[in-house]
Structure 1
Amino acid sequence: MSDELYTKFISLVYQRTGIAYENNKKYYVQKRIEKQVERLQVNSFNEYYQLLKFSENTAEFDRLMNDLTVNETYFFRDFPQLRNFAEEVLQQVVKEKQKNNDYKIKIWSAACSTGEEPYTLAIILQEMLDEPEKWDLHIIASDINTNVLQSAKIGLYDYRSIRDVPPEYLEKYFTLRNEKYSINASLRRSINFRKINLMDSKAIRDVTGCDFIFCRNVLIYFDDRSREKVLEDFYNSLNPGGFLFLGHSESVGRISSAYKSQRIGDTIVYSTHK
């Protein structure tokens, strides 16, 4: 594949998803394009590019993105941050809500992959809320990758995914079936899975009233322009005083001045100050 055509492919991906692939990723991207070209039996990379760019049906573009965006994840990933959310930030929000007789909590897991993050958050809510049955709990779990979303809905995991789950939670929220761990129905009820492209402002506008957004280890794949757009849309999806959690190597400060950065416990978190 010529450098010129590679640039066209990654520009199309960037334009539609905000994900920025550099020249040093050419081998990674090209191998996945080759796989799709072979599957479709089209005559050239250029013919495949024309198909992606001009087809009214986005199914082929979605298939390519499914191949490009498979990510490693597991339950209770980045435990110190989750502990901080559970023991510090969540409690702060819960106290404020109880003062106002508000018993709704809404969380958006904005790049949920195969579902480990939203199910982890559902476990935390069940464990950390006094009388969780009194609360209206709603977790939106979204991803651009339709393959991982399907896996998340099924909720069946191998040992590698559940290796950091505390034994008492494993017993309480999972059922062992043929050496796989299945999420119990009680956790599934609060989670709504949906496909959302973080560059699709219209889709994000439909996500409102969030107390927390988790978007961890995603913005590292974006450039400053697409990061700024996503952060602006997240800001509008959050309630006043809502919190945004990013990965450790990610920061809001240089990109957006809309958020208030603060240390709560031993973690930096970002909140709205509308």
Structure 2
Amino acid sequence: MVKRINNKDSEIKNDLFVIANNEKINVAVKLILAIEKISFQNQEKQELTAKLIIAEKEIAHQNKEKDKRASELLIANKELAFQNLEKEKRATELIIANKKLITQNLEKEKRAAELILANKNLVFQNQEKEKRAAELIIANKELAFQNQEKEKRAAELIIANKNLEYQNQEKEKRAIELLNAISELNIAEEYQKEYIIGLEKLMFMTSHKLRQPVTNILGISFLLDQSSNSKEEIKDYLEYIKQSAITLDTYTTELTFFIHALKEKEKNCL
């Protein structure tokens, strides 16, 4: 009788020992899985940080290019203002030349009137005719010189107008290039922000949604390795694995669609 009691106690102790070892193994498995999950998340965090640093450097470079284009536009505006001042100066000179030419024409008409009077009095004033004729020759020479100066100034004005027109065209071209550069930079910045948000969402889906069913399958697989599992337990474990696999397939499909949408957005932005 005592021997049977001792055997029964021994069996109970063995059962308790097996149960304790199973619990200890389960805790160890969960601890290993948790450590692997933390390590994976840290690695994903480091990769995301490196991508963010690269994105910030690219944005800083684009901002420098934007500032450079703005400086070029300021220089072009200053040059155009100087050219406008030169144009106004030339216009003022032309106005003065025209006024002088009008005065000279009036003088010419006056001299012509004097010549007419001299011709009428030619019979009586031969000496005055010779004098006035000499004055007329000098006036004609001066008028010819003034006409040459007028033509020269007119040619200079035409060249100045052509130069100003060319410079205005260059200014408009530079302004359009600057606006296009600013527009492209804004589009690149918006795409960069959306791309970073997409990467963060992708990391979340990978580290949380996909990792959960994988962890469940690994844990259940470990439990299936135990020889003490009954048929009902094995059936339940297989059902759990099936559900986790279905969940994993669903999350994988979602991840595929998300990556495809991200690539399409990238094509549209580029």
TM-score, length basis structure 2: 0.19
Bigger proportion of residues as helix: 2
Could you say which structure has the greater relative contact order, defined with CA pairs below 8 angstroms and 6 or more residues apart? 2
TM-score, length basis structure 1: 0.19
Greater Cα radius of gyration, structure 1 or 2: 2
